[in-house]
Amino acid sequence: EKNSDKVEKFTRAIVKAMEFVNTHKAEEIAKILAPSFNGTSEASLTTAIQAYKDILPLVRRLTRQYIPCLDFA
C-alpha cells in the first residue's frame, strides 16, 4: 500500500501520545501544550485535558472492539 510506512508511523505516534496522556497529570500536559495554544489559559487546557482523560476508558474499550490492531494499555 502506498505510504503504509507513514500511516504506521502516524498510528504509533497517536498511541504514544495517548500513553503519555494516560501516565501524566492534566496539569503537566497543559504546561507542555500551552505554547501551542496561544491565548488559552493553562486552567482551560487542564480542564479540557482532564475531560479527555475521563473518557479514555471508553476510547480504550472501543479501540479494542473495533480496531484491535491499535490496542494500547
Q: What is the pTM of this model?
A: 0.69
Determine the pLDDT at residue 30.
97
Burial of 29 (0-12, 13-18, 19+ CB in 10 A): buried
User: Which strand (E) or helix (H) includes residue 7?
Assistant: helix 4-23
pLDDT digits (tens, 9 = 90+) for 22-59: 899 999 999 999 999 999 999 999 999 999 999 888 87
Q: How far apart are CA 54 and CA 50, in angstroms?
A: 6
Q: How far apart are CA 22 and CA 53, in angstroms?
A: 7
